Amino acid sequence: MSDVAAQIAALEDAGQNELAAALAGLSGGRRKKLSAQVAELDLGLIGSLVDRFVTAGEGEAALGEVTEAPTIPLPADAEAERAEADARSAGENLLRSDRVSAVLLAGGQGSRLGFDGPKGNYPFAPITARTLFSHHAAKIAALRERYGCSLPWYILTSPQNNDVTRASFEEAGWFGLDPDSIRFVIQGTLPAVDARTGAILREAPDRLALSPDGHGGLLSALRRSGALDEMSDSGITTMFTFQVDNPLVRVCRPEFLGYHAQAGADMSNTAVRKVAPEEKMGVVARVDGRPGVVEYSDLPDELAEMRNPDGELTYWAGSIAVHCIEVAFARSLTDGGLKLPYHRALKKVPHVGADGKQVTPDEPNAIKFETFLFDALPAADASITIEAAREDEFAPIKNADGVDSAESARLLLNDLYARWFEAAGLAVPRDADGAPPDLEIDPRFALDAAELAAKLPPGFVVDGPLALGLDEGPTTAR
């Protein structure tokens, strides 16, 4: 029995008759191509997800009892400032002693942004049009320089975007970083299934409709690729994980690393204050007494809207998906297979029908399955959440326009850099709405306000748009 015959039998056993027939109906290169994808399918897992979400029509697991999570607020007095300074030096020690890696999540499809290519190649910067990857790379370079550390950089990609991501790093000369210090880790995929029948869908006659298995796929990808072993072998104990679409992220913020280490935490969170109860952000909370993040769509309205006597939202702590994760914790979670729950999302997935004709649905027709990284939190015996100043650390680029878009991120970045210049004693022109001109500062020139103040030449003036320390575009450093 040829491999393909065995695959056809296995698909039929699993109730995937449509795909079995499609494979049987192909020949030559196209059969080979589809067969190679079928070989990668975990039919047992897909079968159990279909049983649960399609056949039994179960929704997501019921939410447990939600209570507030303790958080470390922004320092408001001298004592808190001292605690923060202690945490900062603990975090800096971790960095200096080469115990930290930076892990960038860049395996998503970025469908809302509608940009052709990996989101990391999105040219977000208003003057130089530098890309998100270039900006993150400059932060990594600056941190390595500042702390004299190796800070290995792991980048999660998907089979769909890995080659083009890697090629863009090559083309960009690895953004000046040592190529050996960057490692791409490819996450797994899962096929979309028909929402009514559970049939595995094909996007072309010889190609499955596969998509990345969610950012929770990071953990198994790190394990499978040997990256966790590599980290342990080289003495890395802590991963700092961040998302590709937040150019404001303070990569490896020492205060966060330090609080996490001081608490002996397994996995920790960064949270910012939600702007409104209905803002679409997961909130950091305890669920049945365990650490967790509750997705915005799962948080009951009465909890989302609940306020403390001082008028603040009780569940204010919006997760910005910036975590510290212990390597040993990631290892324990992936021993004997990943133990994260799967979620379902109803989506419009164009596909080839059983009759071989292309179907372009008007309504959601398919289910995609994903795991989420924050679902690892309940397994953490110790976890801390640190509050971050929203305007300093969070500018998500999710949508083509409007809320959480390149435009909203541009305004936030301009504002951040304007505040840095002002803190250094410079005047920054602002328009009638208070908006400064377009400003860019290369993280290698200054990672924060203090570094900028120390490096600015005397007599420096900000009198219009400027890109400081960037050779890709104009600079007006004078």
* Neighbour tally for 77: CB within 10 Å: 8
Query: Mask 304-323, x = binds ligand UTP (CB under 6 A)?
Result: --------------------
DSSP helix/strand/coil, 170: helix
Q: Among 214, 258, 291, 378, which residue interacts with ligand UTP (rule: CB under 6 A)?
A: 214
| Cβ closest to ligand UTP, residue 151 vs residue 156 | 156
**At 352, phi and psi to the nearest 5?**
-95, 125
Work out whether 215 is an interface residue with ligand UTP (CB under 6 A).
yes
Instruction: Rank residues 107 and 436 by Cβ distance to ligand UTP and give the closer one.
Output: 107
Q: Give the nearest distance from C-beta 321 to ligand UTP in angstroms.
A: 6
Cβ nearer to ligand UTP, comparing 187 with 238: 187
244 scored as a contact of ligand UTP (CB under 6 A): yes
Q: Which of 91, 126, 217, 378 binds ligand UTP (CB under 6 A)?
A: 217
- Encoded one letter per residue, x for contact with ligand UTP by CB under 6 A and - for no contact, window 380-399 reads ------------------x-
In the region spanning residues 332 to 361, those forming contacts with ligand UTP, defined by CB under 6 A, are none
Which of the stretches 2-10, 40-48, 238-246, 288-296 binds ligand UTP when contact is defined by CB under 6 A?
238-246
Site string for ligand UTP, 99-118 (x = CB under 6 A): ------xxxxxxxx------
Nearer to ligand UTP, 7 or 131 (CB): 131
Measured in whole angstroms, the distance separating CA 371 from the mean position of its chain's CA atoms is 13
**Cβ proximity of 210 and 37 under 8 Å:** yes
- What six digits make up the tokens of 49? 């997800």
Min dist. Cβ of residue 118 to ligand UTP (A)? 8
In the complex with ligand UTP, the residue whose CB is nearer, 88 or 166, is 166
Bridge partners (DSSP) of residue 317 are 273
> Which listed range, 208-216, 232-240, 328-336, 348-356, lies at the site for ligand UTP (CB under 6 A)?
208-216
Residue with CB nearest ligand UTP? 108
Question: By rule CB under 6 A, what string of x and - marks binding of each residue 164-203 to ligand UTP?
Answer: -----------------------x----------------
Taking the complex as a whole, the smallest distance from the CB of residue 252 to ligand UTP amounts, in Å, to: 17
Q: Is 404 in the site for ligand UTP (CB under 6 A)?
A: no
Least distance (Å) from ligand UTP to the CB of residue 107?
A: 3
Q: Choose, by CB under 6 A, the member of 126, 212, 254, 443 that binds ligand UTP.
A: 212
Q: Which two tokens stand for residue 61?
A: 């697991």
Decide if 189 contacts 211 (C-beta within 8 A).
Answer: yes
DSSP state of 51: I
Give least dist CB 32 to ligand UTP, A: 27
Q: Is 410 in the site for ligand UTP (CB under 6 A)?
A: no
Pick between residue 108 and residue 292 the one whose CB is nearest to ligand UTP.
108
Number of residues that bind ligand UTP (CB under 6 A): 20
Contact in structure between 294 and 283 (CB atoms under 8 Å): yes
Residue 107 or 247 with smaller CB distance to ligand UTP: 107
Contacts of 133 (CB under 8 A, 6+ apart): 106, 118, 120, 121, 165, 168, 169, 172, 175, 244
Which residue in the block uniquely carries the two structure tokens 């914790």? 329
Are 97 and 90 contacting, i.e. CB atoms less than 8 angstroms apart? no
Question: How many Cα neighbours within 13 Å face the side chain of 53?
Answer: 25
At 210, which helix (H) or strand (E)?
strand 210-212
Enter the tokens of residue 178: 């040592």
DSSP state of 264: T
Cβ proximity to ligand UTP: between 394 and 420 the closer is: 394
Distance CA 172, CA 180 (A): 15
Instruction: Tell whether residue 243 is a contact of ligand UTP (CB under 6 A).
Output: yes
Q: How far apart are CA 144 and CA 86, in angstroms?
A: 21
Q: CB 326 → ligand UTP: shortest distance, Å?
A: 20
H or E, element range at 317: strand 317-326
Look up residue 310 and give its two tokens: 């001082």
Among 18, 84, 206, 245, indicate the residue that binds ligand UTP (CB under 6 A): 245
Q: Is residue 242 within 8 Å of 102, Cβ to Cβ? A: yes
User: Is 266:291 a contact under the CB 8 Å cutoff?
Assistant: no
Q: Could you tell me which residues come within 8 angstroms of residue 14 by beta carbon, excluding any fewer than 6 positions away? A: 43, 46, 47
CB of 194 to ligand UTP, least distance (A): 21
What is the residue type of 77?
D
Task: Give the single-character DSSP code of 117.
Answer: S
Q: Which residues bind to ligand UTP, rule: CB under 6 A?
A: 105-112, 119, 156, 187, 212-215, 217, 243-245, 398
